[in-house]
Amino acid sequence: MTAPRITDSHCHLDFPQFDGERDALIDRAAERGVHRIVTICTQLENEPQVRAIAEAHAPVFYAAGTHPMSVGKVPEIALEDLTRLAEHPKFVGIGETGLDYHYTGETAAEQQESLRLHIEASRQTALPLIIHARDADDDMARILTEEHRAAPYTCVMHCFSSGAALAEAALDLGFYLSMSGIAAFPKSQELRDIFAAAPADRILVETDAPYLAPPPNRGKRNEPAFVADTAKVGAEVFGMAYDEFAAQTEANFERLFTKVTAWAS
C-alpha cells in the first residue's frame, strides 16, 4: 500500500550530519510518502551549497535567511541581495528569521532589525516568511502585528513551541503553525492543546532535521522520513485519520508555498 503523500516543510539538509547520505535519506523519505522537502539556509554565506542540494534533487526546495542566533555574528544581507536570491525557481521562502532571546538576548535590537528586513523581503517577493521564535513571544507578536498592519505578508511559525498567546496572534494574522517532533514528545500535552485549538487548515508539519526527532526515534538524528511520525500524532490531535490529516497539511502547504505549486505545474 502506498503511503499518503506528505511534505517536510522545514529541515537542514546542508548540515554535516547528512554528509555522504543525502541521496539515501531522500529515498527513505519517499518510502514513507514524503515527496517534498524544504531545506533551510540559516547563514547566507552557505546559500550556494543549499541551492546546489535543491538543484540536484527533484523533491527538494529551499529557503534562505539569517537565523536570529547568527545576527551580529555574520554580516546582514542587503534587502536587494536577498530578493535577488529569491529569483531562483526553487527558492520558495524567506528565512528562517525571527527572535531568539534564550541564548542570544544580548542582540535583541539587532534581531528585531533583521526580522523587519526579512518581512520586507517577504512582501517584495510574495514568498512566505519562515519564523523562529524562542523566549520572545511578546516582541514577536508585536512586530509581526505591526508589520502586517503596515502591509500584509504571509508567514509560518516554524517548529512552533511558544505560548498560546503567540499562537493566537499569529493565527489572527492569517499565519500558519508548523508542528515538529516537539509536539510528539510525551510531556508536550500543553503544546498539543495549543495546536488542537488552531484551525486544521493552518497546520504544517516538519522535522527541523537533524534536530528534534519524534518518537520512536527521539534522541537520534532526525531526518525527513520521520515527519510521518509527527504527522501521525497530528492526526490524533485533530481527530483525523492519518491519510486525511496528511491531505490537509498538503493542501495547507500548497496554499502557503505557492511557488512550489507553480513549479510542480
Residue 134 lies in a domain: yes
Q: Please give the pLDDT value at position 263.
A: 87
Q: Please give the pLDDT value at position 213.
A: 97
Torsion of CA 258, 76, 132, 20, to 10 degrees: 80
**24 Cβ contact partners less than 8 Å away, ≥ 6 residues apart:** none
Tell which residue, 179, 67, 51, has the closest CA to residue 130.
67
Separation CA 64–CA 259 (nearest Å)? 14
Residue 19 lies in a domain: yes
Residue 230 lies in a domain: yes
CATH of the domain at 207: 3.20.20.140
Which DSSP string corresponds to 118-186? HHHHHHHHT--EEEEEES-HHHHHHHHHHHHHHS---EEETT--S-HHHHHHHHHTT-EEEE-GGGGST
Q: Using an 8 Å Cβ cutoff, are 229 and 184 in contact? A: yes
Residue 1 lies in a domain: no
Residue 116 lies in a domain: yes
Q: Please give the pLDDT value at position 80.
A: 97
Residue pointed to by grid coordinates 524562542: 134
Q: Which domain holds residue 105?
A: 6-264
Helices within 32-78 (DSSP H only): 47-56
> How many domains does the chain fold into?
1
Distances (CA, A) of 15 to 11, 39, 141, 223: 9, 10, 30, 11
Classify burial at 213, counting beta carbons within 10 Å of its beta carbon; exposed 0-12, middle 13-18, buried 19 or more. Answer: buried
Predicted confidence (pLDDT) per residue in 147-166, tens digit: 999 999 999 999 999 999 99
Residue 111 lies in a domain: yes
Q: Please give the pLDDT value at position 2.
A: 87
Separation CA 91–CA 188 (nearest Å)? 33
User: Which residues of the chain fall below pLDDT 50?
Assistant: none
